Amino acid sequence: SQQGEEDPQALSIQEGENATMNCSYKTSINNLQWYRQNSGRGLVHLILIRSNEREKHSGRLRVTLDTSKKSSSLLITASRAADTASYFCATDAGIQGAQKLVFGQGTRLTINP
Amino acid sequence: DTGVSQNPRHKITKRGQNVTFRCDPISEHNRLYWYRQTLGQGPEFLTYFQNEAQLEKSRLLSDRFSAERPKGSFSTLEIQRTEQGDSAMYLCASRPDGWGFYTDTQYFGPGTRLTVL
Q: What are the pLDDT digits (tens) for B61-97?
A: 889 999 999 988 999 999 999 999 999 999 999 998 7
Report the percentage of chain B scoring pLDDT > 70: 94
**Taking chain A, what is the end-to-end CA distance rounded to the nearest angstrom?**
36
Q: Mark yes or no for CB contact A88/B99 under 8 Å.
A: no
Q: Mark yes or no for CB contact A99/B111 under 8 Å.
A: no
The pLDDT value given to residue B97 = 77
- For the stretch A63-99, pLDDT in tens is 999 999 999 999 999 999 999 999 999 998 776 666 7
CA trace torsion A87, B94, B44, B42 (10° rounding): 10
CA distance B108 to B6: 10
The pLDDT value given to residue A30 = 86
The pLDDT value given to residue B28 = 85
Report the percentage of chain A scoring pLDDT > 90: 75
Nearest to B104 among A44, A99, A106 (CB): A99
- For the stretch B50-61, pLDDT in tens is 999 998 888 888
Chain B hits for A99, Cβ within 8 Å: 31, 95, 104, 106
| pLDDT band for position B101 (cuts 50, 70, 90) | low
- Per-residue three-class SS string for chain B: CCCCEEECCEEEECCCCCEEEEEECCCCCCEEEEEEECCCCCCEEEEEEECCEEEEECCCCCCCEEEECCCCCCEEEEECCCCHHHCEEEEEEEECCCCCHHHHCCEECCCEEEEEC
Chain A hits for B43, Cβ within 8 Å: 43, 88, 101, 103
CA distance B58 to B67: 12
Reply yes or no on whether the pLDDT at A1 is more than 50.
Answer: no
- Is residue A10 within 8 A of residue A108, CB to CB? The reply is yes
Nearest chain A residue (CA) to B95 = A99
Average pLDDT score over residue span B17-37:
95
Distance from CA of A16 to the nearest CA of B (A): 26
Nearest chain B residue (CA) to A47 = B105
Chain B hits for A2, Cβ within 8 Å: 41-42, 44
Q: Which of residues 73-102 of A touch B (CB under 8 A)?
A: 88, 90, 92, 96-102
- Is residue A6 within 8 A of residue A23, CB to CB? The reply is yes
Candidates A38, A50, A89, A100, partner chain B, best to mutate (most B CBs within 10 A): A100
- Average pLDDT, rounded, for chain A: 91
Distance from CA of B24 to the nearest CA of A (A): 14
Chain A hits for B35, Cβ within 8 Å: 101, 103
